[in-house]
Amino acid sequence: MQGLRTSSASGRIGWLRRWVEGSGVAILLAPGLIWTQLSRTHVDVYHRLLPLTTVVRALAVDLVLLSLVAMLVIRGLEALSSRMEAEGGRRNLFLLLWAIWFSLLAARAVAGLIVAQVLWWRQISTGRTFLLALIVLLVFWLISRRWYLGIVKALRVGCLLLGFCIFWMVPVLVATSLAHQPWDLTRFRKPLPAQTAPHARIVWLLFDEMSYDQVFVHRWPGLELPNLDRFRTQSVTFSDVQPDGFFTEDVIPSLLLGKPIEDVLGTPSGWMVYRTSARAPWQRFDGNETLFAAAERQGWTTGAIGGYNPYCRILRDQLDFCWMNLPLLPDHFSRSESTFGNVVAPLVANWDRLSGRPHGAPPPNSASLDTLGAVRAGSALIADTQIDFCFVHLPLPHPPGQYNRRTGRIGQGGGSYIDNLALSDRVLGRMLDEIARSGAADRTTVIVSSDHSWRVWIWRHAFGWTQEDELASGHGRFNPNPTLMVRFPGETAAGEVTRPMPLLSLHELIEELMAGRIGNAQRLEAWAVQQ
């Protein structure tokens, strides 16, 4: 009886060990989204359409289910390899199942980290990871079976140690799923009273990642940008703008608030907190401190179009018109699905990938600018002359390339930053035509700017980098100057400010424009001298 009890206890311990090891395997196999949801920064929560309650709850369930499945697979591999090893001979080849197993785990872990944007180097792929891991294990198999089995044992111990993380990961996911999050509106327009008299307007077109150097100084040979060139001849151009930062989530809130921002974090509820320096205290983003609130105090109506930043959430009280496009969740996860629907979403996504079915909405493949949601929404905002202060954040020429300037088609992929500049020029022409058709062109000041320059140092080693990008960048040369041009109503002459000016000064400039203290190119140039 004592022997039976000992055997039973030993069996329970064996299954417990396999479950913990299976939990480590489950962490490697888990959807990439799990890593962003476990982050203490909550930045991914901030950038997604909320609420994510059922999604995060499903991630916790997926992690537990994967650990149980992995436990059974490990038990099967143990039984199969032990049986084949006992029989000897050529059947020892079945021990290579461990090599295939760990190679699959390595590939899946890399795939998850790519989805979580922890890895983004173009040299890394799931296929290369699988082959590299398999080749290394095969080499050890050929050199020494004892070494090979020692590595397999070490890898299993690594999974076992990693598996203990499930005891904190699942509770964190459950706690995150209990946080109250609003139901995001992706667009709205508040009812406005009819205007009693024509009002001055400002249309601020912000082109994400537009480099002044690539547009006007070292333009790619043969690249035609007629709308940008024409706009420059009618505007005051700032040729030496000093960047405020290099990340959209920092720079745009900084411009709206009029203060430097060094770091941005999210909260479990999807709000934004920031700090102005590494040693400054964290502050909660307050829409009442932004340019939109300043415009309201001047009696202006306001509208914003954009992506990545959740404008309709953090500026809901300050905007009369809003449209936003936030990044989609990977692997068929959706805020609109039930918990069960999100639990099975990764299985559906993997099945679709294996069967070659498209995931989500098909990419646009058209010459029409209307395939770009931000362009449609921006046109609608500009056409609405009841909105006095219009902010249009356009996702161009931000990489990767989504345009073919030779065919004129959008969404084909494989394009370069130069292609995206050509598309940006088309979009600018569309926005300027919309201003001309609005009937308010004679009272509209137009600002064309960018949040930062082309970040060659990021994209050069990332997915989507092309040979044309390599040549256009001068093999990795980075120029930090963003773009800034201002055109006043009826202006037909070109002006230029060559002295260095911080991009953050744009906040004060817009306040001066709204207050009516700057109304022409001469006053703008005089103001710039004082910066």
Whether the ω angle into residue 364 lies within 30 degrees of 0, i.e. cis, is no
Q: What is the mean pLDDT of residues 484-503?
A: 94
Q: Which pLDDT belongs to residue 244?
A: 92
> Position of tokens 């109503």?
489
Q: Which pLDDT belongs to residue 2?
A: 47
Which stretch of 51-60, 185-194, 360-369 has the lowest confidence by average pLDDT?
A: 360-369
Q: Which pLDDT belongs to residue 368?
A: 78
Q: What is the mean pLDDT of residues 120-132?
A: 81
C-alpha 156/C-alpha 160 separation (Å) is: 6
- What pairs with residue 211 in β-bridges? 482
- Which pTM value belongs to this model? 0.91
Q: Which pLDDT belongs to residue 474?
A: 93
C-alpha 365/C-alpha 388 separation (Å) is: 34
- Burial (CB < 10 A; 0-12, 13-18, 19+), residue 94, is middle
- Side chain identity, residue 244: D
Strands (E), 130-219: 187-189, 201-207
Whether the ω angle into residue 281 lies within 30 degrees of 0, i.e. cis, is no
Query: Token pair of 56, please?
Result: 């995060």
User: Residue 365: is its pLDDT beyond 80?
Assistant: no
- Most trustworthy range by pLDDT among 47-61, 139-153, 343-357: 47-61
User: Residue 195: is its pLDDT beyond 80?
Assistant: no
Nearest partner of 53 among 396, 334, 329, judged by Cα: 334
Helix axes 226-233, 417-437, angle to 10 degrees: 60
Q: What is the mean pLDDT of residues 442-458?
A: 96
User: Can you count the helices (H) and strands (E) in the chain?
Assistant: 21, 16
Q: Which domains does the chain show, CATH number per domain?
A: 10-177 (no CATH), 187-329+366-529 (3.40.720.10)
pLDDT per residue over 50-105, tens digit each? 999 999 999 999 999 999 999 999 998 888 877 665 555 444 666 788 899 999 99
Nearest partner of 469 among 394, 402, 395, 399, judged by Cα: 399
Q: Residue 271, SS3? A: coil
Strands (E), 215-371: 236-238, 241-242, 263-266, 272-275, 283-284, 302-307, 321-325
How far is residue 145 from each of residues 92, 267, 307, measured CA to CA in Å?
10, 51, 55
User: Residue 119: is its pLDDT beyond 80?
Assistant: no
pLDDT band of 146, cuts 50, 70, 90:
confident
pLDDT per residue over 373-428, tens digit each? 999 999 999 999 999 999 999 999 999 988 999 998 888 777 999 999 999 999 99
Q: How large a percentage of the chain has pLDDT more than 70?
A: 92
User: Residue 500: is its pLDDT beyond 90?
Assistant: yes
C-alpha 216/C-alpha 212 separation (Å) is: 6
Q: Which residues of 326-338 are buried (b: 16+ CB within 10 A; e: fewer)?
A: beebbbbbbbebe
Cα atoms in the Cβ-side hemisphere of radius 13 Å centred on 503: 29
6 C-beta neighbours (distance < 10 Å), count: 10
pLDDT per residue over 231-277, tens digit each? 999 999 999 999 999 999 999 999 999 999 999 999 999 999 999 99
User: Residue 297: is its pLDDT beyond 60?
Assistant: yes
C-alpha 99/C-alpha 91 separation (Å) is: 15
